[in-house]
Amino acid sequence: MITYDPRDLGWDEWCARMAELFAGQQLGTVPEESWQDWANGMQGIGYFTQSGVPDARGFDDWKEWAKSVVGIMSIINIDK
């Protein structure tokens, strides 16, 4: 599974791209100050739960969390 690398993107763009990529999961978008709620919502959805997407509480910054998500998604196939 390919996801968007957050390093060169701001929150709004990255969040919108991820929401589009996973439109079937109805993630939607939120303002940056709510990134942890959005991240934990993603972490609690079906196959994201089983894939090991981390809880946002362990991260001070959305980009650090997002980089870990990209790493996890690159080694799994969530289409199964």
CA within 13 Å, CB half, 24: 5
CB neighbour class for 1 (10 Å; exposed up to 12, middle 13-18, buried from 19): middle
pLDDT at 76 over 60: no
pLDDT in tens, 42-71: 887 776 777 777 889 989 999 999 988 877
Q: Which segments of 22-61 does DSSP mark as H helices, in order?
A: 35-43, 46-51
- pLDDT (0 to 100) of residue 62: 95
- pLDDT (0 to 100) of residue 14: 93
First to last CA, the chain: 11
* CA dihedral of 18, 37, 8, 16, whole degrees rounded to 10: 30
CA within 13 Å, CB half, 78: 21
Q: Are 29 and 19 in contact (CB under 8 A)?
A: yes
- pLDDT (0 to 100) of residue 42: 83
pLDDT in tens, 2-45: 677 888 899 999 999 989 988 888 889 999 999 999 998 888 77
